[in-house]
Structures are given as C-alpha cells and as structure tokens.
Structure 1
Amino acid sequence: MMRILALLLLVWPLGGLAQTAAMTEARAAAKELEAAAGMLDKAEGARDRVQALTETIQAFEKGLGAMRDGLRQAAINEAQLSKKLQSRDGEVAQLFGVLQTIGGTPSPTAFLHPDGPVGTARAGMLLAELTPALNRQADALRRDLEDVKTLRLLQVDAAERLQDGLTQVQAARTALNQAMANRTDLPTRFTADPVRTAILIASTETLDGFASGLSEIVTDEVEPAPVTLQGQIGDLDLPVQGVVLRRAGQADAAGVERPGIIMATRARAIVTSPTAATIRYTGPLLDFGNVVILEPEARTLFVFAGLDVVYGEAGQVIAGGTPIGLMGERPSPDPAESGARLSPDRDGSGTDRTETLYIEVRRDNIPQDPEGWFRTEKDE
C-alpha cells in the first residue's frame, strides 16, 4: 500500500490543455489565409488591380506569419509534452500495473492482511479511497497522450496550409509584377536625365553625396513637392512587415554605424510607400543593393535600401500604400532547410526573417532618427 501512496506522489497530472493555444492560433491563421485566398480571386477583376494585389499580399504575409507562429507553438508544445511523458515512463508503467491489479478479479486470499480481519478491512477502505485518484491519474495520462496525437495532426495540417498559402502568395506576387509593368496611370512631376543619373552614381561614394545631388538629375520639373506630412510624423506606417533589428547609430557586427534603422523581414515581403510621395530614384546604389528614394514633402527624403525587386520610375507620384518593391530570398543549397525555418528552436530569434531593409530619413540632407517618424513598436 505504501508503494501505491509513493506512486501517487510521483505521478502528477501533466495538464491536458497543452494544445489549446496552438490550436487557437492555427485556426485563426487558417481563417486569415482563407480570407487572403478570397481576396486573390477578387483581385483578378478589381478596377485597381495593383491596390487589390497589394492588399492581398499583405493579408497573405500576415496569415502566413500567424500560421508559422501557430505551427511553431504546436511543435514546442508537442515536444514538451512528449518529453514529460518519456521522463515518466517508469511511473506510467507502475501506474498501469497497479490499475491492472485493481481492475482484475482477485481471489479472496488476495485481500487477507497479516493483521487479520481488521487490517484487511482497513486496507480495503484505503484502497477504495485510492482507486478514484489512480483512475484520475490514468485519465490525465490518457488525455496527455491524446494531446500529443492532436498536436502532431495539427502540425501536419498547418504545414499543408502553409505550403498552399506560400504557393498562392507567390502567384499574387507574380500578378503584381505584371500589373506594375502594365501600369501607365501614374502622374509625373519631372523627368530624370539618365546621363546625369549615371554620372552622379559613378561619382558618388556615399549616400550623403548621392542624396545631395538628386536635384541635379531632374529635368522638366512641373512643380515642387507638396507638403503632405503635417501631423503624420511619428505615426507613419512602416513600409514592410518586420521587426527592428538594429536602431539608428547602433554598430553592426563590423562596427559600422549608420543613421538609419535595419528591419528584419521575411523573404519576398512586399515593401510599400508609407505615404504619398514622389519617386526620386529607383535602382542599384553603392553597396546598398536596390534602393528606392521617396520625397514625401519638400526637402525630405525616405531611403529604402536592400530590396530585390523595385517598382516605379523617378518622377512618378505615388499614393500611400503603393508597392515600391519586394524583398529578396536567400537561396538555400539544402532543400530541406526551408522546413528548418519552422523549427521551434528558431522561435523568437528572428531567424525566420532572413532579409533586411535599411530605412533612412533625411530632412534638408540631415539624417533623422526613423523611429521618430514611423510606428516601430509593433512586432509583425
């Protein structure tokens, strides 16, 4: 009987609700992906196809991010629960052995106690009190085992939905590329002289020098940039879904300090204009990769560097939320590595956000802290 009491002290309930949060997140993400898929269908006949596709891609990115989080949480919960169950293999075996003994049909001699009839009666009463507790422990273990099975099934279903979503968002990006190439309705403030632009790029050694020389490449300017940021500074949307990886003035691994911020984004993330602006430059620049420079108001520039694909031409006037490019995607020599991005070991590390976008704000050619212009507190 002391063996049974010791077993009750050792085998604690493991819960049975481990999958609840992960299931809730995965179901919510699945709804977001279904909504995004519906938006993709509607975008085919939308009057402003660029805007419809932009909103669709952003919805997919949000849903895919939520699905990754739900899948990652399910993997974590399943691993933790399995580890707890494995660590209690011996205790579980003891519990099942005791329950099997209790559940059998013993002979009358099995209940005889060395102390005689009184001892036998006391032992029977104690066993009668312990049996419900042992059954509850068995039920808890059974629920935990069912939770493990449920979480594994959830991971399989979520992985399939994730793959479907990735296929659909890629189709939306391809459609956006085509829609942007066919767009001819954007107003133009000026025409960029390609010869002057090439000369400026060739003679420029710093972003400062290029920004200060932008006015030299303008011809046939219709009117100056309108003032549009009054009351918006500090409340502008970030151009991409992501997290701040490095703040202004914070040195990188090489000890280089830059006046802008670096955003960590997921592969192929869409980048949009935070506000109405004039495109001052698009294309490769120095060691920044592809760069888009916007002029939201006179004497103010937004610099976005590190894109893979850029949209638009210098001189065009675009509305807020207009796509200006897509982030890249690092090629992996190992096809299995794409699945590694879902590993629970990567949770919270930001390592699933493999691309970086550099954001710089310049007023009167003086760098400003972008965190004073954009809402950067959200982790999307």
Structure 2
Amino acid sequence: MIRFGLAILLLAFAGPGQAQQGRDEAKKLEQLRDAATAKQQSLEQQANQTRSRITSLQNQLIELGGRIAQQNLRSVATEENLLILQMDAAGQMKQLLADKKALGEVLAALQRSQMSPPPPLAVNPDDTLAAARATLLLGETVPALRERAQSLRVSLEKLTQLRQQIESSKLQLQTQMRIFTEEQESLEGLLGQRQQLESQLRGSAQIASNEAQSLATRAANVRELIRQLEAEAAKTMPSLKPTGSTVKPVLSPGLKPDAQQTDTPQPAWRSPTGRFSDSRGQLDMPVAGVLLAGYGQDEHPDRQSGMVMATSRRAQIISPYDARIAYSGKFRNYGQLLILDVGGGYHIILSGLAVSYVVKGQEVLAGEPIGKMADRRKPAPEFYLEFRKQGKPFDPEPWLKKAIKAG
C-alpha cells in the first residue's frame, strides 16, 4: 500500500510521458496488490476449511478411540475368563484321572462279588460267616459305588459344560478381536488423514519436531525441557485457547445396544471456564489400568513425581484435556514421552507408550487418542502419568474423575 501511494504521489510531479509510465506502473502495482489479496483470502479460506476438517476428524477419533478402548477391555475380560475356564477344566480332568484308579478298584470288587455269589447259609458255620461277610461288604460297596458314580457323573457334566463355555468364549474372543482390528484400522486411517491435514496447515511441523529433539538432548530433566519448550513456543506459537467438540456416542458394530448402555464412551468433561485449574476431580484417566505406584511411591527416581499403572496390551491412550502437544519423542530414561501443554502454566507428562499418534505443535481435544501401549501381555505394559505446574510436579490423582484400581 505504501509503495502504491508513493507511485500516485510521483505522478503529480511528473511530465506527460513520465505520468503515463507512472500510471502504467501504478496499474501493475494495483493488479499485484489485488492478486496478493485474493491469494491471501484463498489461503485463509483453505486454512479454515482444513481446520474444520481437522475438527471433524478429531470428533471421529474421539468416538472411535472410545469404542476401541471399550472393545479392548471386553477382549481382555474374555481372555481372562477363557483362561479361568481352561484352568477349571484342567483341574476337573486332573481330579477325574485321580479318581479313575479308585473307581476301577470298586468296580472290580463289585464284578467279583457278582461272579462269586455268597454260599448258602446251611452248608457249614464257616460258609455262613463268609456269606455274612460278603453280604456286609457288598452292602457297603454298592452305596459307595453309587456315590462315586454320581460324583463322576456330576464331574463329567461339569467338564462338558466347561468345554462348551471354552468354545463359546473362543468364538466370542474371535468376534471381539475382529471388531477391534477393524476399528483399529479405521483409527489408523483417520490418523493418516489428520496428519496429512496437519502437514498442510503447518508446513514447518518437521522443523519444529527436529528443534524439540535438539532441545531434549540438551535438557537435563523434564523441568528444564518444559522451560526450554515454553521459551520456544512463546516465540513461534499463540497462547493456547480451549477448543470444544460435540461427541455423540456410537455403538460398536456387531454388539447389541443393551450390552453397551453402561460403557458407551461419553464426551470428555471440559471446564466451563476453559481453565485447567478448574478441572480438579473431573479429568478422565488417559488409560484404564491397575495402580502400581502412587505419587512419590515408585522405586525408580524418574517415576517418583507421578503415578505408575499396569495396562492391558494395545491399550489406547487419550488426552485428558484439550491441549497443545509441546513435545513428542524419546527423552532420557522416560522412553517415548509426550508433554501436553494445557494452558495456565500446567503440563501433563505421559510416558511408556509404544506408539505416539501426535507431533509437536499439534492441538488435541479431550478424549482424542494420542497413542497406544505395547502389544504384550507379560510383563504388562507400564504407563506413567505426571502433572506439573510452572515446572513443579504435583499429585495427579485428586484431579482424576474415576477411582483407580490398586494393584
């Protein structure tokens, strides 16, 4: 605009030839200005459309992530029940084998008594005594045999039922695993779309990620890393503003609605004020698990500032609050580390993940999947959660909505 104004001003003091040349130059400048303005508007429109698509994908990811988490819990419960049934069946079979010998001896005694009936009482006194003893023995054996036969019948029926339940559980597990795999593939597809849109919106994402990794190599601890990340973010990124999402519960395919009424994923809680500091006692756990060590209880020095949980294999990790990803990558003894900037000087640190779905600078919504745990059963994957304010750790448990099951 300044350049355009100067061109007009020069025209006032120029001769006829210079005036025409100046008018041509001014026209070109005006055309360039209009083209630049149109391009800027087009880019802004594209950016808004991209943001809208990202928000839509985030809502889909939240819904799908919740279904996957519930499906994973169902499959884990089925696996545990199947293991118990198999152990019961093995115990029942062992008991039957143990009784086999004793039962065979009783049957043999009965067969011998039937093949050699008691002699007539009138033969002689010795025969009379033998007949009495045989009668008494047979009288004692038959009830015992009936009792053992009844016990055997019950055991066999129980074993048959256990085997039927085992086969039913196997089929149920196959169905659950098929649904889990399909939904996991859908999740990965949505994540791919989201990452592609993020790349379009933020072309410097890889540069920012490389800078974060460089900071991580220089930082001595998490507090120092957070300080460096905040200093960097203050130069390049606007302050975090709370976002919102509208999430409607969606039933998993292949499952009856009444079987899901109690555990259909619900929308994540958000502070009415938009401040994380007002979220005490309202946050969802990032992952379902069994508490191994509370705040300050773990033996490992790097895990005493938070809480440690054992999770199921392949467990989904969600963001407990709307956040900007301040860091995603390896860091010292923490392994795969995520740092979530939730505003107001608060940060949430998560580690132990096998896979991270997010990159530095990305904004996520509460309930959005941000990673998953390792695909192993023994030893169980261990997840670490830490809350910090102004770089100082504090106990996260009072901020969580659901009680944590102690190990």
Task: Label 1:71 to 1:111 Cα distance change in 2 as closer, same or farther (>3 A).
Answer: farther
User: Which one of the candidate residues 225, 240, 243 is aligned to 2:287?
Assistant: 240
Tell me how many residue pairs correspond in the alignment: 309
Write the letter of the residue equivalent to 2:106. L
The alignment's TM-score, normalised by the length of structure 1, stands at 0.67
Answering whether residue 194 of structure 2 is matched by residue 179 of structure 1, we say no
Give the percent of matched residue pairs that are identical in Structure 1 and Structure 2.
27
Instruction: Write the distance in 2 (CA, Å) between the matches of 1:261 and 1:305.
Output: 11
For 1:94, give the aligned amino acid: E
- Look up the match of 2:312: 266
| Structure of larger gyration radius | 2
Alignment correspondent of 1:97: 108
Aligned counterparts of 1:229 and 1:65: Cα–Cα separation in 2: 35
Q: Which runs of 5+ in 2 are unaligned?
A: 1-56, 243-273
Letter in 1 for 2:187: L
Cα distance in 2 for residues equivalent to 1:126 and 1:208: 84
How much does 1:177 deviate? 1.4
Deviations 1:340-369 (A, max 9, x none): x6xxxxxxxxx362x222211112211112
Contact 1:229 1:296 in 2 (8 A): no
Q: Please state how far the C-alpha of 1:324 moved relative to its aligned partner.
A: 0.8
1:106, CA displacement in angstroms? 7.1
Aligned to 1:36: none
Q: Is residue 196–residue 216 contact of structure 1 (8 Å, CA) maintained in 2?
A: no
2:339 is matched with which residue? 293
C-alpha distance in 1, partners of 2:303/2:106? 62
Q: 2-side partners of 1:314 and 1:365: how far apart?
A: 18
Q: Which of 340, 355, 367 pairs up with 1:321?
A: 367
Q: Is the 8 A contact 2:308 2:382 kept in 1?
A: yes
Residue 208 (structure 1) aligns with: 223
- 1:104-253 → structure 2 map (5 Å cutoff): 107=117, 109=119, 131-132=142-143, 134-183=145-194, 184=197, 194=208, 196-218=211-233, 219-223=236-240, 226-230=274-278, 232-252=279-299
Q: What is the CA–CA distance in structure 1 between the aligned matches of 2:84 and 2:353, rounded to whole Å?
A: 30
Residue 252 of structure 2 corresponds to which residue in structure 1?
none
The answer to whether the 8 Å contact 1:240/1:270 transfers is yes
Provide the secondary structure at the position in 1 that maps to 2:342. strand
Residue 35 (structure 1) aligns with:
none
Distance 1:305 1:140 in 2: 54
Residues 277 and 295 of structure 1 are in contact (CA less than 8 Å); yes or no, is this contact kept in structure 2?
yes
- Structure 1 window deviating more from structure 2 (208-217 vs 131-140): it is 131-140
The within-5 A match list for 1:16-27 is none
Question: Which residue identity lines up with residue 81 of structure 1 in the other structure?
Answer: Q
Q: Which moved more, 1:124-133 or 1:257-266?
A: 124-133
In structure 2, what is the Cα distance between the partners aligned to 1:323 and 1:122?
79
Q: CA deviation at 1:379?
A: 6.5
The residue that corresponds to 1:31 in the other structure is none
Which secondary structure does the structure 2 equivalent of 1:250 belong to? coil
Q: Secondary structure at the match of 2:338?
A: strand
Name the residue aligned to 1:369.
395
Contact 2:307–2:385 (CA<8 Å) still a contact in 1? Answer: yes
Residues 110 and 141 in structure 2, CA contact (< 8 A), matched pair in contact too: no
Q: Distance in 1 between matches of 2:344 and 2:76?
A: 36
Q: Is the counterpart of residue 71 in structure 1 residue 98 in structure 2?
A: no
Partner of 2:382: 356
On the 8 A contact 1:310/1:326 being kept in 2, the answer is yes
Cα RMSD, aligned residues only:
3.9
Q: Could you tell me how far apart the structure 1 residues matched to 2:58 and 2:393 are?
A: 39
Q: Normalising by structure 2, what TM-score? A: 0.63
Instruction: Please state how far the C-alpha of 1:72 moved relative to its aligned partner.
Output: 1.4
| Conserved 8 A contact 2:106-2:141 | no
Q: Which has the higher helix share?
A: 2
Partner of 1:277: 323
> Aligned partners of 2:143, 2:368: CA distance in 1, in Å?
65
Q: Distance in 2 between matches of 1:198 and 1:235?
A: 32
Cα 1:310–1:110 change in 2 (3 A) is farther
